[in-house]
Amino acid sequence: MTDSKLEQIMGNLLRAGVMLAAAVVLAGGIWYLAANGGSIENYRTFHGQHGTMPWTQGLSAPLATIQIGLLLLIATPVARVVFSVAAFGVEHDRMYVIITLIVLAILSYSLLAS
Amino acid sequence: MTVTAFSGVVLAISALAGFLGALTGLGGGVVVTPVLTLLLGVDIHYAMGASLVSVIATSSGAAAAYVKEGFSNVRAGMLLEIATTAGAVGGAHLASVVPAEGLAIVFGAVLLYSAWHSMTPMAAQHAHAGDPLAARFKLNGSYPAEGGAEEYTVTNVKGGFSLMVVAGLLSGLLGIGSGAMKVVAMDQVMKIPFKVSTATSNFMIGVTAAASAGIYLRHGYIHPGLAMPVMLGVLGGSLLGARQLHGANVRVLRKLFAVVIAVMAVEMVYSGVTGGLR
């Protein structure tokens, strides 16, 4: 398989991931508005509650659904990096396997360390 | 305002921002935060969280189109992502200690820079000596041009890498894509052809933003109720805008959008200095 072919597949996968994430966010959003649409919004003051994995704790079911969609969205670029490790591996490009793993380590630190 | 009315307003504004951002190439995420904070009184942290999410959506959503054109330099992008993700993690941590007023002032300054940057034509590239580091990291490449593949060599890898740390830092600090600065680092510093720079920048933006996202989640910046209309609006608007790209009078629009950005920049700085946020 050629480089550009691999990239093409990845590009399509990324778009599919974004569309899936958007669909989940939309579904959660409609549910949220149906349940809470009449209440008064309040984003003026920051509550700054510290969340923990898996980031859906303390959320109502509709908001948790939106959050899952957002997590899917955040996962799409991460998936691209994971895919790149494999792609460079197939090409026996050891230097870029290591470089990509460093990027993946930084992403893991942000997303998983707490 | 009720949640439904508020979500509708945010959805409409975000769609317009995404549409104009894609049409002008300036990115829609950059105006979301000032509009939410200045016009709708949203706390800047929540606005940054929603903006960051929309940045990931437009980056990954546009990836397929960029890949099809075959311009992006995958190796340069990955190497530089070490710089942008590390910077973004630092910036996201910094965002939790800098007061809201400070964030507003830095945000205004960055907005002002992007407005200025979009109005001034980039300096033409001159012949340059290749950088041995570029050869070592296999950054020299080629891209499809009219008479077959066009070869290019890359220079000043260290300079580009350093600027990418700053781009990542600002991305994490402010919840933006830092696309303009990424393009400057590649196009102006490393002398990577402009088309290759923009395509590579697009896919770096999503990975950089993902590096901040975990920290934003932990600090509670990403409020699903607010991120929902912003993400759906910016994504929908930018997909529409990318389709309209041909035939529209982009130059006039670009100038207009730059002026809007500049006005918001001044407002952001002013509200930060006077403590008028919220």
- Which residue in A73, A78, A109 is closest to B57 by CB distance? A73
Cβ–Cβ under 8 Å, residues B205 and B59: yes
B235 and A7 in contact by Cβ < 8 A? no
Of A33, A43, A74, Cβ closest to residue B213: A74
Do residue B81 and residue A103 have CB atoms under 8 angstroms apart?
A: yes
Q: Give the closest residue to B238 by CA, choosing from B5, B21, B7.
A: B21
Mutate to test the interface with A, among B67, B89, B239 (most CBs of A within 10 A): B67
CB contact under 8 A, B231 and A84: no
Note the pLDDT tens digit of each residue in B101-134: 999 999 999 999 888 887 777 666 666 777 889 9
For residue range B175-192, list pLDDT tens digits in order: 998 888 898 899 889 999
CB B251, CB B30: distance < 8 Å:
no
Task: Report pLDDT for A1.
Answer: 45
Closest residue in B to A76 (Cα) is B60
| Mean pLDDT, contiguous 10-residue spans, chain A (114 residues) | 69 88 97 89 76 75 95 93 92 95 96 77
Q: Does B246 score more than 60 pLDDT?
A: no
Cβ-Cβ contacts under 8 Å, B72 against chain A: 7
C-beta separation of B171 from B177 below 8 A = yes
The complex's ipTM works out to 0.90
Residue A25 to residue B232, Cβ atoms within 8 A? yes
pTM for this prediction: 0.91
Tell me the three state secondary structure of residue A64.
Answer: helix
Given pLDDT bands bounded at 50, 70 and 90, which one contains residue B274?
Answer: confident
DSSP B128-144: -PPPHHHHHTT--EEEE
B8 vs A114, more confident: B8
* Contact between chains at A45 and B43 (C-beta distance less than 8 A): yes
Q: How many CB atoms lie within 10 A of CB B25?
A: 17
Q: Give chain A positions within 8 Å (CB) of B14.
A: none
